[in-house]
Structure 1
Amino acid sequence: MVFIQIEELKVTLPVPLPGFNPLAPPLGVIPPMSINVEQLKNSAHLSIPQAIMRGLKRAADSISEAVVANGSLDVLRYGHILKARRLVGVRGAGYVYDGLYFVKRVTHKMKRGEYKQDFELTRNGLISTVPVVPT
């Protein structure tokens, strides 16, 4: 929540913020538990849009990832290049962990006749929001 002071009326107005980042929608049904509640300081003098944007940025920075997965894949066998900042489907990890993940980091390793990638995947919740992972 962000508090904004309206100087003309001498009133402080509370503005609630969403519990998720609108630019990164939830990929899991059960979100991680928040353990910190932080008060946004120095927002009373800002305009309403400025205070909301500052609050949304702080909320986006503090959202924790419920699941982080690291691994490597053989691109020639997989058939596609894994790209960073995209979504990828994971199957075979169990009901709680199957689903869509955000590709946070990819490192390419190439040798003659071989192409491998190391990757880091993240998801902001447990249990998939999609019933079936696309192939």
Structure 2
Amino acid sequence: MKHFQQFLIFCCFFICISDLNGKDNLDEDQSINGTVWQLVRKGSSGLSHGNGQVVYFLISDAHNTYRSRQFQMWDGFSVVDSRNLVRLKKNQKIQVITSKFNKSIYEIKLLEGFYKGKTYYLIAEELEKNFVQEKEDDKNV
């Protein structure tokens, strides 16, 4: 009986600790939602790639590209129709709406350009590498 009580106490402690960690991650994820980012670098550095940062119209295209890069499984790479891609130009702004697939893909809204107001998907590594977060102005006018 004593071992059972110790086991229950251990389980309760473990559940409380894991719940606290989950709340920390949730707060961290919500802090990026709604933020505005500006493209400061060309997304592609290779000579064979075009200028600008690619964003995806379909979330499956973004996720399959991310997985192929992550696991170096190019044989399972999905073909992406170029009509479902948009290239952002330098200094264009986006707004992060939410994260998907364990924070590996961000749903974004374009704030400038021809496709202004449309929703697309961006690989999280590219957000960190090629974009700078806009600072909020505290001007009271």
Question: Where is the strand percentage greater, Structure 1 or Structure 2?
Answer: 1
If the TM-score is normalised by the length of the shorter chain, which range does it land in? Answer: under 0.3
TM-score by length of 2: 0.23
Question: Where is the helix percentage greater, Structure 1 or Structure 2?
Answer: 2
TM-score by length of 1: 0.24
